[in-house]
Amino acid sequence: MGLEQFDTILAFSAVMLTLSLLITILVQMVLTAMNMRGRALGWGVERLLQQVDPKLNLGDMAGKLSQAILKHPALTHRGSTMAIAIRKDELLKVIEDLAERGNTAPQKSEAMGLVKAAPDLSDDERQRLKDAILRVAPGATPEQAQSAAVLTSELLKVFPGADAAVGRAVASALKAKRQIEVEVEKWFDTVMDRSTEYFVKQTRWVTAIVAFAVAIALHVDALGIFAQLTSSKDLRNQWSEAVPGLLKQAGDLSLDSGKPYPLGTKAVLLLKDEKVLTDDDRKTVDGVKEDLLTRAAGQDWVDKANLSKAAKELYPRKADEAAKKRMDELSTAFTNVRAVAAGTSLQIVRYPWPAFPDKSYLGVLMSALLLGLGAPFWFNLLKQLTNLRPLIAGKVEKEEKG
């Protein structure tokens, strides 16, 4: 392969990475607008409730209950219609609250003006939820179970309506676990892992759909782009010069790791900006894992870490700051990447569209398929080609001298 052909392939990969980066940013915006992470979490919580012991009698109301849980006002924020993260202890607390008070979510957010269509539980469903909460795990001794039932019955006469709190206090005093706690602890991590996989799968589908839509709407002709690069040395040079900036932009978007943006890790690291942190707090924060992808993962790490109470209380605010910072980064990245394409004389968007049939439509179909591979693919390919170019250039120069 000659250097000219190699530079054509390198420039073409740079064009594909540019378009893929724009698509990646658009996908992130679509996922946020559609609250796909919240939907994936709802899918996971529903399956968790379907998986628990059938004796708890929650399976047939799992869908409605999962919606009520994730739209609970204690979990939603900034006008969100559904929570995007939840911990085991939060899940249990919300279940208890729904059993005691039902759906307390406001029908309208005063701050955002958004309707929260959280399903309200019927009296029968609330009673079933109370019964599930009060059920003692089989691991307790018969004496403990009998004592728990008697104590619960007597205490409820004194504190009517406090079923969940009474059940929790009695089980704790007798060192007996409630069945619902055992089931949540047993299945939570497994189901949440499947929920993450579900979200990744949905992300891939959205990426493919957006790539196809962009290719069709803008009439991006991969064959036409390749022909332009083949025939113009100036075009190849323009895109070769843009490669370092593109790779840096892709690296800033975490495409170098091939993983989603580690929001939890970024939020934890922002804690270091706070003056209330002690030296020990800062050392602990420096040791944060780099794979905390979600707000909930960061919260779990903070809860288990050896941090001061003040540091732990700051995490929710830092998670909000990290999310806002990420959106600002995406907006800036979109502007920068678009400027790269605008700064060259390459015709990427063809307008007006040619009459059908036309060979350019084959190029549009190829563009949709190539862009559907995703930005990480083109990032890794372009990085490898960039590393190979000096070797190819050296070999060509040596052959010309020989």
Q: What is the pLDDT of residues 281-322, one digit of tens each?
A: 899 989 888 777 777 778 888 888 888 888 888 888 888 888
pLDDT score of 79 more than 50: no
Same domain? For 64 and 175 the reply is: yes
Same domain? For 118 and 148 the reply is: yes
Same domain? For 134 and 51 the reply is: yes
Q: Which residue has the higher pLDDT, 401 or 402?
A: 401
Question: Domain boundary at 195, 213, 244, which?
Answer: 195
Domain-located, residue 179? yes
Domain-located, residue 176? yes
Same domain? For 54 and 167 the reply is: yes
Q: Name beta bridge partners: 108.
A: 115
Same domain? For 15 and 71 the reply is: no
Same domain? For 66 and 180 the reply is: yes
Domain-located, residue 19? yes
| DSSP string of 278-299, one letter each residue | -HHHHHHHHT--S---SHHHHH
Same domain? For 102 and 157 the reply is: yes
pLDDT single digits (tens) 136-179: 776 555 666 666 667 667 666 766 666 666 666 666 655 566 77
How sure is the predictor about 124, in pLDDT bands with cuts at 50, 70 and 90?
confident
- To 10 degrees, what angle do helices 179-218 and 36-51 make? 150
Give the mean pLDDT of 355-369.
83
Give how far the C-alpha of residue 67 lies from the chain's centroid of Cα atoms, to the nearest Å.
19
pLDDT score of 359 more than 90: no
Question: Domain boundary at 195, 213, 230, which?
Answer: 195
Domain-located, residue 287? no
pLDDT score of 103 more than 70: no
pLDDT score of 272 more than 60: yes
**What is the four-CA torsion angle of 75, 266, 39, 184, rounded to 10 degrees?**
-60
Q: Which domain holds residue 334?
A: 3-32+222-267+312-349+372-390
Give the count of beta carbons closer than 10 Å to the beta carbon of residue 21.
Answer: 25
Same domain? For 168 and 91 the reply is: yes
Q: Which residue has the higher pLDDT, 240 or 159?
A: 240
Domain-located, residue 126? yes
Collapsing DSSP to helix, strand or coil, 250 comes out as helix
pLDDT score of 255 more than 70: no
Domain-located, residue 237? yes
Domain-located, residue 299? no
Which of 103-117, 157-171, 310-324, 341-355 is predicted most confidently? 310-324
Domain-located, residue 378? yes
Q: Name beta bridge partners: 136.
A: 178
Same domain? For 28 and 105 the reply is: no
For the chain, how many structural domains are there in total?
Answer: 2
Give the mean pLDDT of 377-390.
89
pLDDT score of 117 more than 60: no
Which of 223-237, 331-345, 349-363 is predicted most confidently? 223-237
